[in-house]
Amino acid sequence: MFYHVKKDLQFIVDSDPAARNKIELFLLYPSIHAMIMYRMSHFFYTKKRFFIARLISQVSRFFTQIEIHPGAQIGDGILIDHGSGVVIGETAIIGDRVTIYQGATIGATGNEKTFKRHPTIGSDVIIGSGAKVLGPVTIGDNVKVGANSVVLQDVPSNSTAVGIPAQIKTRRKLEVVENNKEYVADYVI
């Protein structure tokens, strides 16, 4: 548990320009509180103690306004920035170093007939405010999901998904020579 909290704190310090120090984060950021409570509830969920797992997750939801189902699988270094209204479903899988902004939903469409009905999110992903990632889709590594986008299909790594429904823009590396200096830049197709 302490290992995960340490990773989450370090990621927030590295990612959030408003974060001043780890003590302030630990005491005042609902993202940290929600992740601590999630890890406790997930422990009970894996031990098939579903009632206590759901009780912990509902207490967390009451205090943080962040709803994370105890069955979700979440990696290290998670930042739920401004947190209010974030929902993460039961069969969701989230990688490492993921930033989720307020109002985002990682959930189901309601039409799934299989057990796996929530998204799989890769590592180093940013999910914008109000974005909805729905269904058993896979979001690759280094993906950015734009604010208020609705993602209903797989998004490959190194891409950006924007719009309703989301259109996928692939980022590619481009070697640029400028002022006799070579460098690599990202560009979107």
State the sign of the Cα–Cα–Cα–Cα dihedral 105, 108, 110, 111: positive
pLDDT tens digits, 112-163: 788 889 999 999 999 999 999 999 999 999 999 999 999 999 999 999 999 9
Residue 8 in this model has a pLDDT that exceeds 90: no
Q: Tokens 């797992």 sit at which residue?
A: 53
CA distance 89 to 3: 24
- Residue 171's DSSP bridge partners are 188
Domain ranges (residues) in the chain: 2-188
Which pLDDT value is given to residue 188? 56
CA distance 95 to 76: 7
Written as one string, the DSSP assignment of 56-95 is HHHHHHHHHSEEE-TT-EE-SSEEEES-TTEEE-TT-EE-
Nearest CA among 170, 173, 118, 165 for reference residue 144:
170
CA distance 75 to 71: 13
- Residue 107's DSSP bridge partners are 134
Beta-carbon neighbour count of residue 84 at 10 Å? 11
pLDDT tens digits, 26-62: 888 899 999 999 999 999 999 999 999 999 999 999 9
CA distance 41 to 50: 9
**Average of pLDDT values for 13-19?**
83
CA distance 107 to 67: 11
Question: CATH number of 2-188: 2.160.10.10, 2.40.50.140, 3.40.50.300, 3.90.1150.10?
Answer: 2.160.10.10
